[in-house]
Amino acid sequence: AVCCVVVAVLAALVASSPTKGWSGRSLSLLDP
């Protein structure tokens, strides 16, 4: 359950701050 929450928070951070390097990598995986 906790892991799911962490994943959801990370997803929210990626969506809110796509300018970060690691976020850019995540976005590239979702939309290459």
Query: CB atoms < 10 A from the CB of 20, how many?
Result: 13
Q: What is the predicted pLDDT for the residue at 6?
A: 84
In the structure encoding, which two tokens stand for residue 19, read together? 């300018």
**Neighbouring residues of 26: CB distance < 8 A, sequence distance ≥ 6:** 14
Q: What is the predicted pLDDT for the residue at 10?
A: 79
User: Along the 32 residues of the chain, how does pLDDT read in single tens digits?
Assistant: 787 888 888 777 766 655 555 555 555 555 54
Statement: the pTM of the whole predicted model exceeds 0.75: no
